[in-house]
Chains A and B, each alone.
Chain A
Amino acid sequence: MAEEVKTPAPPTPPEGEPKPTAEKPVAAASAAPAKPAAPAKPAAPAKPAGPVPVPWTSPMVEKYRSQYGSGLDPQTYLGQNYLTVDCSLIPDILRLLRDEEQFDYCVDITAAHYPKREKQFDVIWILYSFPRNERVRVETQIADGASIPSSVAIWPTANWLEREVYDMFGIKFDGHPDLKRILLPDGWKGHPLRKDYGILQQDKEWVQINLGIESGQ
């Protein structure tokens, strides 16, 4: 079989962008989370659409909103809170969340690729606070080739997590003590979780040189 490279097109194309931040939620929806048929989705067949994200309000969020204004967009979806943050505010916000809001446990750092968007990558931090028993996600968007400050100094656990994001997406973290591939071999070319990397695609040259076989498929 020829290389079956899955272009990002087949499912609903991501230009309309699944990101709930793109469209502001309808105010009326906040009362009834089970409200059907989100208006912005004509492509969806007759099927009850899920709940819509609603603005997230809490004293913590109010404080940061007044401080950072529009650089911060707090929302709640299915009972989970997340902050969409402008990428320039990331180091400040992450440090404040740890130092002042007791989000002492960085659960995960990951990313998602939206090739049709101008800022192609979402970077996501999932945080948890032991004292508050509360989770929050921090999300930001960055362009391809741009780098983002490392949070290893805030949570040491970020070390391997950031390395994995770098390995899979090619996103660079400034100030990371040892930013190199973690799951793939050092000499590998390409970042497999990008949408333009096909599922059967691999670094043929690496395979031929290091494994001595024509192809890994």
Chain B
Amino acid sequence: MSDRTNEVSHLDLEAPEKPYLDSNELIINMGPQHPATHGVLRVILKLDGEKVLGTECVIGYLHRGVEKIAENRTYTMFNPYVDRMDYCAAVSNGLGYCEAVEKLMNVEAPPRAQYIRVILTELNRIASHQLWLGTHALDIGAMTPLFYTFRDREEILKIFEKYCGARLTTHAFRIGGCQYETYAGFEEDVKNFLTFFAPKIDEYEALLTTNRIWLERTKNVGVISGADCIALGVTGPVLRASGVKWDLRKAQPYAAYSKFDFEIPVGTNGDTYDRYLVRMQEMRQSMRIIEQAVGGIPEGPIMGKVPKVIKPPVGEIYHSIEAPKGELGYFIVSDGSTQPYRLRVRPPSFVNLQALDVMVRGLLVADVVAVIGTIDIVLGEVDR
């Protein structure tokens, strides 16, 4: 048995110079597999405790090279591809593309087609906002709206399905007009939807607008000023919620929008709550447009004078529309052949997402989820 009494202790009893609980900055990854990032968005967060010091978005996980595909397909063949960008608002994507090519060919869709386009596009705007509301509310803890909005969105998808056979990636329009005549009972279905849906918006609002938890989670969260929105190129409901009254349907009317009477809802604070209110109002305004359009669909052809083979003359065109998420633009360069020489999509989600960093600085981690939801991005469009 050895004697250990002479051993020296190595315990360091001096007080450490640094505190044991250090407060270093923390870098964490949010996503790409995260339910609240609405797809495969990865956000690198730089945190001080719970406080966000800065963010960096890593995108491209869904990149499919849509613009490259366009250069290798004919104008007609490329049409269904645009539905796969913002798949929540496929009709809007199709409208923008068809109008851009029509402009390049210097033709116009006949009035009947214009009306059908407006009705379907506005229905799609409502569907897109419903999807946004359901998922956004779910992200910040309100589960019920998700079931309500998806239940009601179904009615819109049924109309799409009856019209063109598809519910999500509709491919509803063709270059020069619409391929399908409205089915028997189309107008009835749309009118029935309007009477069905009017009280439903009130229902959503009853759940959220004055809900104390909702107010706590959205008021003064993710504030962005109108000037910052313009500098960052942010468009759509986010811009309008910051007080800039700008909507392409009014500013540079396309399709038949100049014929209809509607308001542009605007907010004042530019926070998440105002963006919620603006989108709720937009759904009501969309209903107003649909109501006017469905009552006055003119008779006539649904296809303009477009040749079988689409061959726009040499030239360049930029055309943009007010998609549910902001300005959706197509820049097309034609070399006179059947395929676009260059086709550029100006995606609203991609540009709006850039404002995330400005909006979340200084907020808490939980608010990042709210802000991603309120920008309303679709990764299919961000990454293309």
* 27 A–B contacts, CB within 8 A, in A order: A6-B72, A11-B338, A14-B341, A34-B106, A41-B314, A50-B314, A77-B316, A77-B317, A78-B104, A78-B315, A78-B317, A105-B233, A106-B233, A113-B342, A135-B318, A137-B318, A156-B232, A157-B232, A159-B354, A161-B233, A168-B67, A181-B60, A182-B59, A183-B63, A183-B384, A193-B68, A199-B71
Closest to A106 in B: B233
A44 lies within 8 A of chain B by Cβ? yes
Q: Which B residues contact A (CB, under 8 angstroms)?
A: 59-60, 63, 65, 67-69, 71-72, 103-106, 230-234, 244, 246, 251-252, 307, 311-318, 320, 327, 329, 331, 333-339, 341-342, 344, 346, 350-351, 354, 383-384
A20 lies within 8 A of chain B by Cβ? yes
The interface bits of chain A over 176-195 (1 if a CB of B lies within 8 angstroms of the residue's CB, else 0) are 00000111110000001100
Shortest beta-carbon distance from B75 to chain A in Å: 12
Interface contact tally, CB-CB below 8 A: 133
A124 lies within 8 A of chain B by Cβ? yes
Interface size on A, residues (CB 8 A): 51
A108 touching B334, Cβ below 8 Å: no
A97 lies within 8 A of chain B by Cβ? no
Q: Closest 5 CB pairs between A and B?
A: A50-B313, A11-B337, A157-B233, A183-B60, A112-B342
- Which residues of chain B have C-beta atoms less than 8 A from A47's C-beta? 307, 311
Closest to B311 in A: A47
A89 lies within 8 A of chain B by Cβ? no
B246 touching A80, Cβ below 8 Å: no
Q: Which A residues contact B (CB, under 8 angstroms)?
A: 6, 10-12, 14, 18, 20, 34, 38, 41, 43-44, 47, 49-51, 53, 77-78, 80, 82, 104-108, 110, 112-113, 124, 126, 130, 133, 135, 137, 155-157, 159-161, 168, 181-185, 192-193, 197, 199
B350 touching A14, Cβ below 8 Å: no
Shortest beta-carbon distance from B311 to chain A in Å: 7
B344 touching A49, Cβ below 8 Å: no
Using A12-B336, A18-B336, A199-B69 as known contacts, say yes or no to A105 and B331 having CB atoms under 8 A apart: no
Closest to B252 in A: A133
State A47–B36 Cα separation when bound (angstroms).
Answer: 52
- Which residues of chain B have C-beta atoms less than 8 A from A105's C-beta? 230, 233
- Which residues of chain B have C-beta atoms less than 8 A from A159's C-beta? 354
B233 touching A112, Cβ below 8 Å: no
B314 touching A104, Cβ below 8 Å: no
Shortest beta-carbon distance from A210 to chain B in Å: 13
Beyond known contacts A50-B106, A107-B329, A113-B342: 11 more, CB 8 A cutoff: A6-B72, A41-B314, A41-B336, A51-B315, A78-B103, A105-B230, A106-B233, A108-B318, A126-B331, A157-B354, A160-B350
- Which residues of chain B have C-beta atoms less than 8 A from A185's C-beta? 60
Interface centre among A6, A12, A110 (most CB of B within 10 A): A110
Shortest beta-carbon distance from B60 to chain A in Å: 4
Shortest beta-carbon distance from B156 to chain A in Å: 30
State A107–B335 Cα separation when bound (angstroms).
Answer: 24
A50 touching B68, Cβ below 8 Å: no
Using A50-B313, A126-B318, A160-B350 as known contacts, say yes or no to A192 and B60 having CB atoms under 8 A apart: no
- Which residues of chain B have C-beta atoms less than 8 A from A161's C-beta? 233, 351
- Which residues of chain B have C-beta atoms less than 8 A from A108's C-beta? 318, 329, 331, 344, 346
State A104–B315 Cα separation when bound (angstroms).
Answer: 26
Residue from A10, A41, A155, A181 within 8 A of B233 (CB atoms): A155
A11 touching B335, Cβ below 8 Å: yes
Interface centre among B59, B68, B72 (most CB of A within 10 A): B68
B105 touching A50, Cβ below 8 Å: yes
- Which residues of chain B have C-beta atoms less than 8 A from A53's C-beta? 315
